[in-house]
Amino acid sequence: MAIPAPAPHNAPIRVMVVEDSIMMRSAIRKILGDDPEIDLAATANNGQEALDKLANQNFDVVILDIEMPIMDGLTALPKIVKVSPGIQVIISSALTMKGAAISLEALSLGAADYITKPNAAMGADVFGQYLKAKIKSLGRAAIARKQQKKQFVGSPRLVSIQKSFQAQCLAIGSSTGGPQALPILLRALGPQTSYPIFITQHMPPAFTAILAEHLEQASGMPTREGKDGEEVAPGRIYVAPGNFHMLIEQKSGNRVIRLSQDAPENFCRPAVDPMLRSLANTYKGKVLTVILTGMGHDGTAGMKILSEQGGLAIAQDEQSSVVWGMPGALVQAGLASAILPLQNIAAQAQKYLPGGRP
């Protein structure tokens, strides 16, 4: 049977839930059932059943469990993205070190995003809010690409670059799609010993520790979660730990990491805005910021403060972003000095970093 044509751009987002737990399937059905923007079109008990349904049905988003009988999620994932190009897969996993490692592996195999199952730290209500937000953001992008009607307003371009600008550090903010984009950017930048790199990626605890390990392998640079009171050193990468804002403060002539559990900003902790505000205080305008793919607008408010002090920002372009929320907000606010595909960002950034190529 032929796969039906994609739905119109304004149609509900068609979702398939692949989950062997009856309780979890019922919970998701309850969460999504009253939202007119989402059509829970099918459920499957395992990866093989999901593939069978993909053979004759069209979906925009798949919510994929990992541990299932017959065919588990990691085995099914590459088959799903091969059978249905452009489909957006959200991995559903437990908030554990094992769950974090598996989720990051899934992202490297083609998943667009992940969500942690309800737990003591995140109840069913919060889980539902996050799940619907992810489905809508990824689903709309998937539908637009299938219809080939997306206008890439964030097409590559240089807006305004100060030729004499020289940064003392690099700040990176990312969310959805970030775990896939960060290794590419850092690998292209290459190892160096001249400046520190600060990264805030929207992620829960456990996940950020695993992410730091992956980024160290990609960059060839010492990479760890930031520790409270740790002195900042050049040639190191500091990743904001899950559930903490990472700030950089001045102390006795040195710059040090401060971790904060102040209220979430932009519904996130860690968030990019607090990091950028702190960098504005400690580095003034000597900060180059890169805002990568992600939902929402985190980073725009902080970059406004940095920009007023002479700091510059590069935004990932729309076409190479999984979700053009955070970089798009930066562009729309007129704060991006360059809008570039992911693969071109490093070369541009190196022009304004110590020891970089002119």
Positions marked catalytic: 175, 202, 298
Range of the domain at 82: 13-147
Does some domain include residue 3?
Answer: no
Do 128 and 191 lie in a common domain?
Answer: no
Residue 353 DSSP SS3: coil
Reported confidence tier of residue 313, pLDDT bands at 50, 70, 90: very high
More confident: 30 or 355:
30
Domain end marker among 116, 147, 178:
147
**CA pair distance 247, 142, nearest whole angstrom:** 35
Q: Assess contact for 207 and 100: CB atoms under 8 A.
A: yes
pLDDT at 235: 96
Q: What is the largest CA-CA distance in the chain?
A: 71
Q: Is the pLDDT of residue 142 over 60?
A: yes
**How does the average pLDDT of the chain come out, rounded?**
90
Cα–Cα dist 78/193, whole Å:
37
pLDDT band of residue 93 (cuts 50, 70, 90) is confident
Cα–Cα distance for residue pair 271/199, rounded to 1 Å = 10
- Domain end call among 147, 172, 203: 147
Q: Is residue 169 domain-shared with residue 124, that is, in the same domain?
A: no
DSSP symbol at 293: S
Tell me, what's the pLDDT at 28? Answer: 94
When divided into structural domains, the chain yields a total of 2
Q: Write out the H or E segment, with its range, that includes residue 23.
A: helix 22-32
The C-alpha atoms of residue 110 and residue 77 are separated, in whole angstroms, by 7
Is residue 358 scored above 70 in pLDDT? Answer: no
- Using alpha carbons, list the distances in angstroms from residue 197 to 25, 215, 222, 224: 41, 12, 10, 11
Within-domain flag for 176: yes
8 Å CB contact between 103 and 124: no
List, in sequence order, the alpha helices (H) in 253-341: 272-283, 300-308, 326-332
The dihedral through the CA atoms of 263, 265, 271, 272 has a sign that is negative
> What are the beta bridge partners of residue 255?
250
Question: Which is more confident, 152 or 182?
Answer: 182
**pLDDT score at 120:** 63
Stated as kind and residue range, the H or E segment containing 157 is strand 157-158
Both 72 and 101 in one domain: the answer is yes
* CATH code where residue 230 lies: 3.40.50.180
d(CA 229, CA 168): 20
Instruction: Look up the pTM and report it.
Output: 0.90
- E strands present in 23-137: 38-44, 61-65, 88-93, 113-116
4 pLDDT more than 50: no
pLDDT above 50 (res 6): no
Position 5 scores a pLDDT of: 40
Bigger pLDDT: 173 or 125? Answer: 173
For residue 336, pLDDT beyond 80? yes
Mean pLDDT of 329-337: 96
Convert the pLDDT of each residue in 49-90 to its tens digit.
999 999 999 999 999 999 999 999 999 999 999 999 889 999
CA contacts within 13 A on the Cβ side of 157? 9
pLDDT value for 117: 86
For residues 186 and 143, membership in a common domain is answered with no
- SS3 category, 278: helix
pLDDT of amino acid 193:
93
Section 26-34 average pLDDT: 92
pLDDT of residue 355: 77
Q: Are 298 and 291 in contact (CB under 8 A)?
A: no
Choosing from 118, 147, 176, the residue where a domain stops is 147
**Of the candidates 87, 91, 75, the residue with the CA atom closest to the CA atom of residue 41:** 87
pLDDT single digits (tens) 198-228: 999 999 998 999 999 999 999 999 999 999 9
What's the confidence (pLDDT) of residue 155?
67
Tell me whether residue 6 is in a domain: no
DSSP string, 216-276: HHHHSS-EEE--TTPBP-TT-EEEPPTTSEEEEEEETTEEEEEEE-PPPBTTBSS-HHHHH
Section 27-42 average pLDDT:
93
**Predicted local confidence at residue 153, as pLDDT:** 64
Do 199 and 299 belong to one domain? yes
Check whether 134 has a pLDDT greater than 90: yes
Tokens of 154: 């964030």
- How much of the chain exceeds pLDDT 90, in percent? 78
Report if residue 4 sits inside a domain.
no
Q: What confidence tier does 2 reach under pLDDT thresholds 50, 70, 90?
A: very low
The dihedral built from the CA positions of residue 119, 246, 262 and 255, taken in this order, carries a sign that is positive
C-beta of residue 102 within 8 angstroms of C-beta of residue 74: yes
Angstrom distance (rounded) from CA 211 to CA 20: 28
CATH of the domain at 128: 3.40.50.2300
